[in-house]
Amino acid sequence: MTRLNKNLRNPPEPTFPPTSKLQTVLSSTLTTTFTRLQNNPTSSTISSALSDLQDFLSGPKIDTLILLFATAVVPPLCKSSGFSPILGFLFTGMLMGPNAFRIIQEIGSTEALAELGIVFFLFEMGIELSTERLRSMRKDVFGLGGAQFFGTAIFFAGFFRKWMGLQANAVVVIGGGLALSSSAFVLQLLKEKKDLGTRYGKASFGILLFQDLAVVPLLVVIPILAGGGSGLAKALSTACVKAGLALGAIAIIGRTFLNRMFNAVAGAKNQEAFLGLTLLTVLSMSFLTEGLGLSNTLGAFLAGVLLSETKYRYQIEADIAPFRGVLLGLFFITVGFEIDIGLLMSQFPTIAGIVAAIVLMKALITTLLSMVMGLSAGNALQTGFLLSQGGEFAFVAFGMAKSFGILDPATTKLFLTSVALSMATTPTLASFSTMIAGKLEENSGFKHYLGQDKEAQEIQVSGDFVAVVGFGTVGKVVCDLLDRRFQRFIGIESDPKKAIQARNKGLPVFYGDVTRTEVCEAFNIGNAKAVILTINDVRETNRAVITLRRQYPDMQIFARAKDEDHKKRLQGTLAVSAMVPILPEDNLLLTLPFGGAVLTSLGTPVDEVNAILEAKRKDVQGGIVEVEVEGEEVGEGEEEEDEEEEEEEEKGAKEEDGKGVEEKGEEGVKGLGGETGGGGDDAEGATLAEERSSHEQEVEVGGTLGLTKKADDEGTYTNVPTSS
């Protein structure tokens, strides 16, 4: 394009040296075209216009347009070809960068724009890290995360000092930098695979949180190492003062002004103003910490933590998602800039050795530590390989070390290329580890599926869990809502196939039948905060309710009812909060109020319940369902399957529905192996009716809870919980 425009401005006839037959033809055609343009009266006007356009677009403008075009084209191309978009961005960056075709000229301005992707990404991570979540994840964050970071850093420092003979200050930076994994890569992969709610997903997230916290002291130490360690006490005290000022300022601003400002803007119901305030919050906090000599990502992260305690967190998260997605794509492209093909060819053995050391040793150390902390072999393996790459902050640390003279340019480029290549291996290794983990889980013994492993026992003894009986369509939605609220749960499924599939994914779902007393005792149901029955079978629901009510008279029980008649009998006779969550018009959406009622009864504020339900509703309507059934995403197929189950149940249980819950109760008691005397079912019904008085204050589902149907602007209906 540049050559073409220069030739238009200069009268001499252009020449195109041919290097192939195709280029010879092209050269001849273009030469003829330009000759005609010169003889045309309007050629000077065209030449001038093209020259002005070139001058205007040159530099950062054309680079920005090319990068935005790449972020728009790469994801659909990768999806159609079955590749990870992250790999596509890396490959695109490698080709367009300074080490290949040099399509992007202003690398510095491009990287500055891409850094905003990390800023918004860390802000989003902060929103996810409420005080409640940090408390529930403290073992993964400070236990597993701390052990992984320090263990990996110490190993790499010793390994590269011995192998490459680097100085002590250099290996400290390299060890700390390589101990960090890529939050952007890992969380993006977890979201693509819908595995954030799994055990290994939570462990990975906890480790990443500790690593993000460790970035700040690492960046503070680098200038100190450049001076040979002199002035360490003064530098650390200065850093602590700056950190204290930043934290204090953010806390004061956040608690004093942010809530009021968001309340005022939200009250005005102006979406543009709300988005503007969100962007102002993110950028101002990041500039504040950067101005105090700390990382700008730390400010964004802390701003997210502050806003995580507000009722607007879900709306804020939805507003910044498009910006974060585009800018994160730009970041992955800039990572690809660091892959030097020439260096890779000339020093292939060395780079291959560094990449292998990073990936294999990080995977090994993380896997072993995860198993020590109680993860199963399969979950530990997935965690290890998912976190086996180098991280984006390694680029920052190594670049800073180079500017301070700790690392020479050649060594810096060697490690930057190796880190970028280790990132490129992540999607493939993650898929491989998932396959191996599935095999390990299948061969791990049946105790793994019966709730007798370490993970299940930790949940059971905590006394802070909810038992969800049934892991079908309704059960999955309820479990997902509980997980969004950071409420621990145990799923109990009587279908071994469903239980095994869920357990192999790392979910706390186990095989069992709660109509058996010994199963209830094994799962320590008496310590549960509540029991939620989502079984799609009238007979089994009644049997389970009678068993649970007999053993635990004061237990709060929620049950999925077949119809209004069944619901009234469960509520009136068995002191159970019941609801009919499934209707033919919209299966999946109408399960949400059932889960919302559970959250409300567990003490979740109504505003937060509404926000959680709205976020889940958007996922459902957008086709994003975070659970799978027999390897396929829950969608229309499962809705049809659920409708078929409903029809079969109607045929088989039509007569039974009219007989009342008491007759089902007799069968349920007999099914437990117990004995009933004459009129046992009536006695059971009378006893349970008397127990009703002890549940006067329970929160009921359906009409008694206050769940209402509200029409939205499009005329469709969504179920919204109101305060009870």
Write out pLDDT tens, residues 469-520.
Answer: 999 888 888 998 888 887 889 899 999 888 888 887 778 888 889 999 888 8
Question: Which of 78-92, 248-262, 402-416, 635-649: highest mean pLDDT?
Answer: 402-416
Give residue 450's pLDDT: 57
Stretch(es) of the chain classified as CATH 3.40.50.720: 459-721
The one-character DSSP state at 13 is: P
Q: How many residues does the chain have?
A: 724
Per-residue pLDDT tens digits for 301-348: 888 888 887 778 878 887 887 887 888 888 888 888 888 888 989 999
High-pLDDT (> 70) share of the chain, %: 73
Binned at pLDDT 50, 70 and 90, residue 124 comes out as: confident
Q: CA-CA distance, 281 to 326, in Å (whole number)?
A: 19
Q: Is the pLDDT of residue 584 over 80?
A: no
- Closest residue by Cα to residue 133 from 530, 484, 514, 403: 484
Q: Which of 16-25, 499-508, 586-595, 630-639 has the highest mean pLDDT?
A: 499-508
Neighbours of 323 (CB within 10 A): 18
Band of residue 400 on the pLDDT scale cut at 50, 70, 90: confident
Q: Does the pLDDT of residue 14 top 70, yes or no?
A: no
pLDDT in tens, 697-710: 333 333 333 333 33
pLDDT band at 540 (very low <50, low <70, confident <90, very high): very high
Rounded CA separation 392/295 (Å): 13
Q: Which has more pLDDT, 140 or 87? A: 140
Name the band, by pLDDT with cuts 50, 70 and 90, for residue 354: very high
What pLDDT, on the 0 to 100 scale, is given for residue 215?
Answer: 80
For 261-304, what is each residue's pLDDT tens digit?
888 998 888 888 998 998 898 898 888 888 877 778 778 888 88
Best CA proximity match to 305, nearest among 487, 125, 121: 125
How far CA 348 is from CA of 96, 321, 344, 709, in Å, comes to: 21, 39, 5, 64
**pLDDT at residue 15 greater than cutoff 60:** no
Is the pLDDT confidence value at 529 over 50? yes
Exposure letters 503-513 (e unless 16+ CB within 10 A, then b): bbbbbbbbbbb
Per-residue CA distances from 629 to 187, 235, 551, 625, 636 (Å): 23, 55, 32, 11, 12
41 band by pLDDT with thresholds 50, 70 and 90: low
Strand-pairing partners, residue 467, are 490, 531
Q: Which residues contact 697 (CB under 8 A, 6 or more apart)?
A: none
Q: What CA–CA distance (Å, rounded) separates 651 from 662?
A: 20
Tell whether the model's pLDDT for residue 35 goes beyond 50.
yes
CA distances from 343 to 102, 324, 333, 392, 409 (A): 16, 32, 19, 20, 13
- Phi and psi torsions of 406, nearest 5°: -75, -40
- The per-residue pLDDT for 444 is 62
Average pLDDT over residues 79-100: 86
* For residues 6-13, average pLDDT: 44
Q: What's the pLDDT tens digit per position in 176-220?
A: 999 999 887 898 888 878 788 888 998 998 999 889 778 877 877
Cα separation, 694 vs 697, in Å, equals 8
Structure tokens of 307? Answer: 């806003």
Q: What percent of the chain has pLDDT over 90?
A: 19
Spatial distance between the Cα atoms of 559 and 536, rounded to a whole number of angstroms? 10
What pLDDT is stored for residue 29 in this prediction?
Answer: 61
Q: What is the DSSP string of 529-585?
A: SEEEE--S-HHHHHHHHHHHHHH-TT--EEEE-SSHHHHHHHHHHS--EEE----TT
Record the tokens describing residue 337, joined without a space. 């800039």
Give the single-character DSSP code of 695: G
Question: Average pLDDT in the 369-396 region?
Answer: 91
For residues 571 and 579, give the distance between their C-alpha atoms in angstroms, rounded to a whole number. 9
Instruction: Give 444's DSSP letter.
Output: S
Both tokens assigned to 581: 């969550």
Q: What is the pLDDT of residue 543?
A: 92
DSSP 448-475: GGTT-SHHHHHHHHHS-EEEEE--SHHH
Identify the weakest region by mean pLDDT among 1-15, 236-250, 438-452: 1-15
User: Does position 537 have pLDDT exceeding 90, yes or no?
Assistant: no
Domain with CATH 1.20.1530.20 in the chain: 88-440
| Over residues 153-157, mean pLDDT | 95
Q: How confident is the model at residue 459 (pLDDT cuts 50, 70, 90)?
A: low
678 contacts 689 by C-beta, under 8 angstroms = no
> Which of 276 and 81 is assigned the larger pLDDT?
276
Predicted local distance difference test score (pLDDT) of residue 60 = 82
Measure the CA–CA gap between 630 and 497, rounded to whole angstroms.
8
The whole-chain average pLDDT of the chain stands at: 75
- pLDDT at 36 (0 to 100): 62
The residues facing 151 across adjacent strands are: none
Query: SS in 3 state form for 43-105?
Result: HHHHHHHHHHHHHHHCCHHHHHHHHHHHHHHHHHHHHHHCCCHHHHHHHHHHHHCCCCCCCCC
In Å, how far are 96, 113, 380 from 60, measured between CA atoms? Answer: 14, 10, 45
Of 125 and 320, more confident: 320
Rounded average pLDDT over 123-135: 75
Tell me what the mean pLDDT of segment 463-473 comes to: 88
Which of residues 77 and 643 earns the better pLDDT score?
77
Phi-psi region of 270 (alpha: psi -120 to 50; beta: other; left: phi over 0): beta
Rounded average pLDDT over 629-655: 41
pLDDT of residue 500: 82
d(CA 286, CA 295): 8
In this predicted structure, the answer to whether residue 383 has a pLDDT above a threshold of 90 is yes
Mean pLDDT of 21-44: 59
Homologous superfamily of 459-721:
NAD(P)-binding Rossmann-like Domain (3.40.50.720)
The predicted structure's pLDDT at residue 448:
54
pLDDT at position 258 is: 83
- Looking at domain 88-440, its CATH architecture is Up-down Bundle (1.20)
The rounded distance, in Å, linking the Cα atoms of 522 and 545 is 17
Q: Average the pLDDT over 108-126 and give the result.
A: 79
Helix, strand or coil for residue 404?
Answer: coil
Amino acid present at 26: L
